[in-house]
Amino acid sequence: METLEFQSEARQLLQLMIHSIYSNKDTFLRELVSNASDALDKLRLESFRDKDMDVDVDDLHIVIESDPAARTLTVRDNGIGMTREDVVRLIGTIAKSGTAEFLKQLKEQQQSSSDLIGQFGIGFYSSFMVADKVTLVTRHPHAGGVRWESTGESTYTIEDVEDAPQGTSVTLHLKPSDDEDKLPDYTEPAKIREIVKRYSDFITWPVRLGGEDINSRKALWARPASEVSEEEYAEFYRHISHDWNAPLETIRMQAEGAFEYQALLFLPAQAPLDLFMRDSRRGVQLYVKRVFIMDDCAELMPEYLRFVKGVVDAADLSLNVSREILQQDRQIQLMRRRLVKKVLSSIKSLQSSRPDDYAKLWGEVGAALKEGLLSDVDNRTAILDICSFASTHSETELTTLASYISRMKEGQEHIYYMTGDSRTAVEHSPHMEALRAKGYEVLILTDPIDEMWVDAVPSYEEKLFQSVAKGQVDLETEEEKSAAAEKASEFADLLTWMGSALAEDVKEVRLSTRLTTSPACVVGDDHDITPTLEKMYKAMGQ
């Protein structure tokens, strides 16, 4: 037997669970059933891929057993199991991207930590909310049995065991009943039944208690929409997204005919923590006729919609379908196009029917959505329709492009914008003066991605985007123009002299009508990169 230490992030999360701040402790069972279900999915998939694998997949199931006298509760599956290395890696460490960030945020805002748990999803460790010791016995089809045990303090023990059954069993040694937490009696069958019904009813594998199946096992996306409650959708969303919050919006789609499929997609109320990390995952799972095929299916959802979670169940694919096949499949490409359009149109209808929810969603994932302005040219207009931007029109409210246009002044031809590091920096820029004097509204773009899309997207509703920091912002009437030309000839000598004196640093010196209070400002050429973009490129080492 070996005694090993938890990785330090894992230790911190365990402490969090032991001194649990999360009020709804029943959810530990949902996490264990969810893991068991994933393990059964994986074993079935393996058995399709590897015909020689010597395991029995005829009766895949989950069993819950309780022993009131010993105060133990066991969740057992005959799924894929884990090797010794798997156990050390998967249970002893937290490899999830975003962990460090999550822990940092936790330290910073102690009071709302249960919301943060929602974003992170603690999974297996949630057992320690209700147990003071957890024993896990597991066996992978190609390996010997392993027994893991821990009290959730800094270490765990691990040892090889003879004749462990195929799959995994997790036994919780429940905290004493007089514990100050006043936990319900989780050994009580009625309690177990209630929790499974509430949180795990849709699990496709049988969940058994005392020889009886206690879940209805109906795939939500295959049931008529009118028969599925919001709570059921929310639980299913939690199962697939590992998010502990309810989704902001549920989207259902169905196609019949030559290529039949059903989709159940969700928009999150909070951005996943890894949304802007390099290895962030996409959230759509592929099923074929109710059988789980793969997670994180990039062929079904573009990267800029990586915050969308859900399931697509296609009737006419082979169970052996691989990523390579998916990439080349015309039907899959068509389906992806329809899914994207549906997601974008759902966000658009949120915008009009539930503006507060739309604003919340935009605040969480807007910066990711804007990446689509560059990568998804076909849907550019649909994306622009659902974008919101800060603007000089309001200190606090964002504006859509349509409302910007509706406020455009007589004679204004362009949608003016300025990019920069912050609202204050933009507002104090000398470039803004002339626009302010004219009463023209300017969009204030401060996300790094804004620098990129403004270069790629020429117009919206036939109105050209115009940076106030670039080239000649054409604000003058004919009269003003001839007055300006006169002035320029008056100052010609001065301008020539300044031009040569500053030749090292600027291309040209010209008289400006855009300034009202500042004496001078530096502008970029139409095709120059902006200062912020220049900084970004430098930061990326270019």
- For Mg ion, the binding residues (CB under 5 A) are 35, 123
Interface with ligand ADP, residue 61, by CB under 6 A: no
Backbone angles phi, psi at 41, to 5 degrees: -55, -45
Selected binder of ligand ADP within 77, 249, 313, 450 (CB under 6 A): 77
Interface with ligand ADP, residue 90, by CB under 6 A: yes
Q: How many angstroms separate the CA atoms of 154 and 170, rounded?
A: 19
Cβ contact 301:336 at 8 Å: yes
* Region near ligand ADP per CB under 6 A, out of 72-80, 158-166, 210-218, 474-482: 72-80
User: If we measure between CA atoms, which residue out of 298, 265, 293 comes closest to residue 280?
Assistant: 298
Q: Which does 4 bind (CB under 5 to 8 A by kind): ligand ADP, Mg ion, none?
A: none
- Output 91 or 384, the one with its CB closest to Mg ion: 91
Q: Which residues contribute to the annotated binding site?
A: 31, 35, 77, 82, 96-98, 119-124, 168, 323
**Per-residue x/- marks for ligand ADP, 164-203, CB under 6 A?**
----x-----------------------------------
**Per-residue x/- marks for ligand ADP, 101-140, CB under 6 A?**
--------------------x-xx----------------
Name the minimum Å distance from CB 138 to ligand ADP.
6
User: If we measure between CA atoms, which residue out of 215, 210, 173, 159 comes closest to residue 33?
Assistant: 215
Q: Which does 168 bind (CB under 5 to 8 A by kind): ligand ADP, Mg ion, none?
A: ligand ADP
Interface with ligand ADP, residue 35, by CB under 6 A: yes
Q: Which two tokens stand for residue 394?
A: 């309001």
Cβ contact 236:218 at 8 Å: no
Q: How many angstroms separate the CA atoms of 209 and 510, rounded?
A: 83
Distance from chain centroid for Cα 118: 13
- Output 75 or 454, the one with its CB closest to Mg ion: 75
Distance from chain centroid for Cα 55: 36
Distance from chain centroid for Cα 76: 31
- Output 25 or 289, the one with its CB closest to ligand ADP: 25
Q: How many angstroms separate the CA atoms of 51 and 319, rounded?
A: 13
H or E element at residue 253: strand 249-255
Interface with ligand ADP, residue 45, by CB under 6 A: no
- Output 79 or 420, the one with its CB closest to ligand ADP: 79
Q: Which does 82 bind (CB under 5 to 8 A by kind): Mg ion, ligand ADP, none?
A: ligand ADP
Q: Which residues contribute to the annotated binding site for ATP?
A: 31, 35, 77, 82, 96-98, 119-124, 168, 323
Q: How many angstroms separate the CA atoms of 16 and 10, rounded?
A: 10
In sequence order, what are the residues at sequence separation of 6 or more whose Cβ sits closer than 8 angstroms to the Cβ of residue 374? 449, 452, 453, 456
Q: Which does 106 bind (CB under 5 to 8 A by kind): ligand ADP, Mg ion, none?
A: none
* Region near ligand ADP per CB under 6 A, out of 51-59, 78-86, 158-166, 290-298: 78-86
Interface with ligand ADP, residue 335, by CB under 6 A: no
- Output 106 or 347, the one with its CB closest to ligand ADP: 106
Three-class secondary structure assignment of 372-435: HHHHCHHHHHHHHHCCCEEECCEEEEEECHHHHHHCCCCCCCEEEEEECCCHHHHHCCCCHHHH
Q: Which residues bind ligand ADP (CB under 6 A)?
A: 31, 35-36, 39, 77, 79-82, 90-91, 121, 123-124, 168, 242
